[in-house]
Amino acid sequence: MAKKKIILFDLDGTLIDSTDAIYDSFCFSCQKNGLDIPPLEEVKKTIGHTLDDMFAYFGADKEKLCFFRDSYREFYLKVFLEKTEMLPNATDSIKLASEFAKLGIVTTKTSKRSRELLEYLGVLKYFQIVIGIEDVQFPKPHKEPILNAKNKIDTNIPLSDIFMVGDTPLDARSAIDAGVHPIGVKCGYGVYEDLCKLCENVFEDSLEAVKFISTF
């Protein structure tokens, strides 16, 4: 049976719990580059944004962002596999979604590390495409990552049959800008009230979201 829908997923907070890997890498970079280490809860509020935006938010000199980014990735590379796990029900949501839709990942991580991570977690085979920060000129909340994914998965599927599942307003705004359905999940880093302002449908996790999309 032909798959007539596309479901795009965010990664951090939507399918995977990468909090420890991100925070440890963030702390390492701050320490190495002379920036005060912010509390975990404050960093969690920025997850989903680009690394440059995260470090700039906490006071990094914009002229030195490349050093913060490079230090972060230096440490992240050492820990990201062992310190990341699938969120509850996420694997089941991917398997269910793959039965009726073509799947993609849209993330502000690099696509290279995202593919390695998804392969390690045993789910890369379910995705037609992984769009990361290096694949676009304008990352989320711009529409480019979603339209890029759509064009590489199937240009014939209309925008009305495409869904973006994510845990932050960045995901929702990107979906709205691209003209696809924004679907929110509460299992990640976004604020529920903020998601509700942008998404007509917000679910506990990706499995509930996929079950809803299957009936759409």
Q: For 21-36, how does the pLDDT look when each residue is reduced to its tens digit (9 = 90+)? A: 999 999 999 999 999 9
- For residue 1, name the pLDDT band (cuts at 50, 70, 90): low
Largest CA distance in the chain: 56
The pLDDT score that the predictor gives to residue 165 is 98
pTM of the model: 0.95
Q: Which tens digits make up the pLDDT trace of 36-71?
A: 999 999 999 999 999 999 999 999 999 999 999 999
Residue 142 has pLDDT above 80, yes or no: yes
Domains of the chain, each with CATH number or no CATH: 5-17+85-214 (3.40.50.1000), 19-79 (1.10.150.240)
Residue 63: DSSP 8-state:
G
The pLDDT score that the predictor gives to residue 2 is 79
User: 134 with 112: CB under 8 angstroms?
Assistant: yes
